[in-house]
Amino acid sequence: MQEKIDKVLSAFNGDRSELIPMLQAMQKELGYLSEEGMQAIAKHIGMAESQVYGVATFYAQFYFAPRGKHEIKVCSGTACHVKGGARILETLESQLKIKCGETTADRNFSLEKVACVGSCALAPVVMIDDNVHGRLESKKVKGVLDKYASEV
């Protein structure tokens, strides 16, 4: 982990204006923002750890725990909501045995809600990694998850 952290820090000269790009680079390298990663950034730019953490928590793009191998994003836009998106989310939570915002114990899946993903004609929509699963029905959720779970 320290090697990865050092690699990220070496790309920045310690200017405070680089905080967001540093956080982004750290998350890309580590997969999430670990405590060690944020401490290292704070030291590198001479800011209090609490300030770095405060900035990071303001942005939804940052994660503070390891993410799953597959990212599931359930669209919560209007069209998807009207077409039963909330029911799909409940089904996913129940199948994966996690709540929205969490990652499964085997680190296979992370689950979250997102705003309109731009495929409203296919509502309700769930994105898994870069794939759009449109007109999804609760009864099809298990089959879709099984396909990803069996990927090596």
Residue-by-residue DSSP string for 45-104: HT--HHHHHHHHHH-TT--SSPPPSEEEEEE-SHHHHHTTHHHHHHHHHHHHT--TT-B-
Which residue minimizes CB distance to ligand FES?
77
Binders of ligand FES among residues 42 to 101 (CB under 6 A) are 75, 77-80
Of the CA atoms within 13 Å of residue 103, those in its CB half-sphere come to: 15
- Please answer whether residues 68 and 104 qualify as being in contact, where contact means their C-beta atoms are separated by less than 8 angstroms: yes
C-beta closer to ligand FES: residue 41 or 125: 125
The least CB distance from residue 81 to ligand FES, in Å, is 7
Instruction: Tell me which stretch binds ligand FES (CB under 6 A): 54-62, 88-96, 117-125, 136-144.
Output: 117-125
The least CB distance from residue 129 to ligand FES, in Å, is 16
- Token pair, residue 72, equals 């599931």
The least CB distance from residue 4 to ligand FES, in Å, is 35
C-beta closer to ligand FES: residue 16 or 140: 140
Q: Which of 5, 92, 111, 117 binds ligand FES (CB under 6 A)?
A: 117
Pairwise CA distance, residues 118 & 98, whole Å? 26
The least CB distance from residue 21 to ligand FES, in Å, is 29
- Token pair, residue 37, equals 């990663």
Q: Tokens 């303001």 correspond to what residue?
A: 58
The least CB distance from residue 136 to ligand FES, in Å, is 11
Binding footprint of ligand FES on the chain (CB under 6 A): 75, 77-80, 116-120, 123, 125
